[in-house]
Amino acid sequence: MLAVTILGNNSAVPAFDRHPTSQVVTTDGTSFLVDCGEGTQIQMIHYKIRRSKISHIFISHLHGDHYFGLIGLINSFGLLNRLQDLHIFAPSPLQHLIELQLKVADTVLPFNLHFHTIRNEGVLLDEEKYSVTCFHTNHRIECYGFAFIEKKKPRRLLPEKAREFEIPSHFYDRLTHGEDYIKKDGSVVKNEWVTLEAAKGKVYAFCADTKYDESIIPHIDGADMIYHETTYLNNLAERAAARFHSTSGQAALIAQKANVKKLLIGHFSSKYESLDEFEKEAKAVFENTELALEGVTYRV
Amino acid sequence: MLAVTILGNNSAVPAFDRHPTSQVVTTDGTSFLVDCGEGTQIQMIHYKIRRSKISHIFISHLHGDHYFGLIGLINSFGLLNRLQDLHIFAPSPLQHLIELQLKVADTVLPFNLHFHTIRNEGVLLDEEKYSVTCFHTNHRIECYGFAFIEKKKPRRLLPEKAREFEIPSHFYDRLTHGEDYIKKDGSVVKNEWVTLEAAKGKVYAFCADTKYDESIIPHIDGADMIYHETTYLNNLAERAAARFHSTSGQAALIAQKANVKKLLIGHFSSKYESLDEFEKEAKAVFENTELALEGVTYRV
């Protein structure tokens, strides 16, 4: 099951008990942290996220509201005697910054910290059950979105059917991987007669900070769920563009054009106390929109 | 009035809704921030501290639980269009770290940020109504405590007495500064006949992170209130010493030996949920002890 839990849904300055960007993506027992604004570790405690479960951290860009909480989290991992490796994917020079902060504190971590500097679009992780890719977004500084892609599972075997066609059980594994079975007399048992289509792997894309830019669409096309920032409402579209941010209506338009199934919106400006208008504005364009609310888990 | 408001009273890893070190010292309309652990700006919002009032920030040392919140606060000051100057006193290389973080985010602040690198004990600020000094504490890395010293106010004039001795009013200001008045006939009006002793300026000392070390006593001797760390209880005195921290009993012993009037204790280890034992242990040695509780203002 692919799911995302929101830890912070506000833009830069914390306000109205909303926190800077951070979310936890989970798939099949693995937890990824996406962005890590100040106070993320405190939000994790608050929402009972098991910090030790986090194996990979993805940082979209080096504006503070997306990474100022990272050094504190790393530091706490050290003090809590974490032993398992931690992988961080981020643009340069995050590695230098973190290493400098550890050095001035004379801190030696008890676990291995692996930095993977993102320099371009592409595949960041390719594991048996999932992959993670990144793509450029259009922001004031170098910035990346991330797509979490569950791999297609094996086809589902229909054991009665397989027995009916007298297929030996040692071939069952090959059936779930799509092979036909050829009997000794040369006749063929078509794979689809004895298996069912596997459930399609789900896709979740975090679109980071970005101004309205359709060039991200190929990277999120047909995704089951995307998170798109919406710092302002449409009436401040000019300000949004000037600051390389999006409006709620623009986020919805991207969702619509990319044929995604569901849209989460967040990164709300601190000038808005109520979020009702964000939801209303987006839903008018793309009905299956939800506000990304802190502490809530959205199943993809 | 000199007072301190506690924003964070926990040691390194946040726990039990306690936060890393930060406190606001106020005197006569001026607000100083002392240390700035992660989440300090959020605590300021929570406890309705006017962030814009902060003119000077003092950072004791570069362990993360004492400064990881600083870059976020500075960043927010920028986004909130602060215009007034901000002064930061801290050991090296904090200036380099902050400037690097601003640079990678391509952030230009709308106000002047003045760094004052602390390199030794001495006077940091000497203003008309107060001074701030710093002193070494005994910690794993370079670390400073800070003393906030209200200057003695002018003596209080007794106008009826002054008129009785026929002292001209243009001399009143000199009376409040302690001068005797010499009449035309050469007779002397003693200052103490026409004025009262000024209230003594109050002193508050923040003793930062430190192991038990009596060498700080001359710097806090007779202070009206001190804050002394107490990371552990006495039964973990060995661990405290090994980690350059103090126990509650040790903090109280310092308060007693330094003849201070009141002791605040904080920087509690995350291993303790209840703080009752800290209070009990300290009070057995030094009765006028209070737990430093978040959100509470202690008047010096």
Using one digit for the tens of pLDDT, what is the confidence trace for B171-185?
999 999 899 999 999
B115 in A contact zone (CB under 8 Å): no
Cβ separation of A80 and B141 shorter than 8 Å? no
The terminus-to-terminus CA distance of chain B in angstroms comes to 8
* Residue B22: HSE in the Cβ half-sphere, 13 Å Cα cutoff: 29
The DSSP output letter for A296 is -
- My answer on whether omega of the bond before A154 falls inside 30° of 0, hence cis, is no
Cβ separation of A42 and B39 shorter than 8 Å? yes
Cβ separation of A68 and B64 shorter than 8 Å? no
Cβ separation of B41 and A14 shorter than 8 Å? yes
- Which residue in chain A is spatially nearest to B79 when comparing CA positions? A13
**Dihedral sign for Cα atoms in the order A117, B74, A23, A285:** negative
| Interface test with chain A among B17, B19, B21, B42, by most A beta carbons within 10 Å | B42
What domains, with CATH codes, occur in chain B?
A: 2-153+200-299 (3.60.15.10), 156-196 (no CATH)
B154: confidence class by pLDDT, cuts 50, 70, 90: confident
- Three-state secondary structure call for residue B47: coil
- Which residue in chain B is spatially nearest to A65 when comparing CA positions? B72
Which residues of chain A are within 8 Å of residue B75 when distances are taken between CB atoms?
12, 64-65, 68
Buried b (16+ CB within 10 A) or exposed e, A252-291: bbbbeebebebbbbbbbbbebeebeebbebbbebbeebbb
A104 in B contact zone (CB under 8 Å): yes
A110 in B contact zone (CB under 8 Å): no
pLDDT of A28 reads 83
- Three-state secondary structure call for residue A2: strand
ipTM of the complex: 0.85
Structural tokens at position B191 = 């200052």
Using a 10 angstrom Cβ sphere, with 0-12 exposed, 13-18 middle and 19 or more buried, the burial of residue B30 is: middle
Among the partner residues B13, B62, B80, nearest to A13 by beta-carbon distance: B80
pLDDT of B1 reads 87
Which residues of chain A are within 8 Å of residue B45 when distances are taken between CB atoms?
14-15
- Three-state secondary structure call for residue A79: helix
Query: What percent of chain B stands above pLDDT 70?
Result: 100
Residue B29 has pLDDT above 90, yes or no: no
| Phi and psi at residue A273, to the nearest 5° | -85, -50
What gap in Å lies between CA A71 and CA B224, rounded to an integer?
36
What gap in Å lies between CA A140 and CA A243, rounded to an integer?
7
- My answer on whether omega of the bond before B159 falls inside 30° of 0, hence cis, is no
Contact A133, A122 (CB under 8 A): yes
Structural tokens at position A61 = 């860009």
Among the partner residues B75, B76, B141, nearest to A105 by beta-carbon distance: B141
Contact B175, B157 (CB under 8 A): yes
Among the partner residues B12, B75, B97, nearest to A101 by beta-carbon distance: B97
Cβ separation of A14 and B45 shorter than 8 Å? yes
What gap in Å lies between CA A164 and CA B126, rounded to an integer?
94
Give the bridge partners for B204, in sequence order: B148, B225
Contact A105, B141 (CB under 8 A): yes
A76 in B contact zone (CB under 8 Å): yes
Among the partner residues A64, A65, A79, nearest to B101 by beta-carbon distance: A64
Minimum distance, in Å, between the CA of residue B138 and any CA atom of chain A: 15
pLDDT of A29 reads 82
Cβ separation of A106 and B71 shorter than 8 Å? no
pLDDT of A80 reads 93
Structural tokens at position B8 = 């964070």
B63 in A contact zone (CB under 8 Å): yes
Cβ separation of A105 and B42 shorter than 8 Å? no
Instruction: Choose among B133, B130, B74: nearest CA to A13.
Output: B74
Residue with structure tokens 């594991």?
Answer: A127
Total residues found in chain B within this entry: 300
User: Does B65 qualify as catalytic in the annotation?
Assistant: yes
What gap in Å lies between CA B82 and CA A118, rounded to an integer?
34
* Annotated active-site residue in B65, B126, B180, B213: B65
A64 in B contact zone (CB under 8 Å): yes
A103 in B contact zone (CB under 8 Å): no
Residue B13 has pLDDT above 90, yes or no: no
What gap in Å lies between CA A206 and CA A264, rounded to an integer?
9
Minimum distance, in Å, between the CA of residue B179 and any CA atom of chain A: 52
Give the bridge partners for A91, in sequence order: A118
What are the strands of the beta sheet with A297-299, ordered from one edge?
A113-118, A86-91, A54-58, A30-36, A22-27, A2-8, A297-299
Q: Determine the residue type at A30.
A: T
Structural tokens at position A221 = 């096309």
Contact A19, A276 (CB under 8 A): no
Using one digit for the tens of pLDDT, what is the confidence trace for B76-102?
999 999 999 999 999 999 999 999 999
* Annotated active-site residue in A17, A28, A35, A65: A65
Q: Determine the residue type at B247.
A: T
Among the partner residues A15, A45, A93, nearest to B14 by beta-carbon distance: A45
A95 in B contact zone (CB under 8 Å): no
A105 in B contact zone (CB under 8 Å): yes
Structural tokens at position B151 = 């200057």
Mean predicted confidence (pLDDT) in B105-128: 96
Among the partner residues B12, B39, B79, nearest to A12 by beta-carbon distance: B79
Minimum distance, in Å, between the CA of residue A44 and any CA atom of chain B: 11
Cβ separation of A141 and B106 shorter than 8 Å? yes
Contact A214, A257 (CB under 8 A): yes
Give the bridge partners for B123, in sequence order: B133
Residues 6+ apart with CB under 8 A from B288: B261, B262, B263
Which residues of chain B are within 8 Å of residue A42 when distances are taken between CB atoms?
14, 19, 38-39
Which residues of chain A are within 8 Å of residue B48 when distances are taken between CB atoms?
none
Contact B109, B78 (CB under 8 A): yes
In the predicted model, residues of chain A with pLDDT beneath 70 are: none
Cβ separation of B76 and A12 shorter than 8 Å? yes
Residues 6+ apart with CB under 8 A from A87: A55, A56, A57, A114, A116
Which residues of chain A from 199 to 218 reach within 8 Å of chain B, CB to CB?
A: none
Minimum distance, in Å, between the CA of residue A167 and any CA atom of chain B: 59
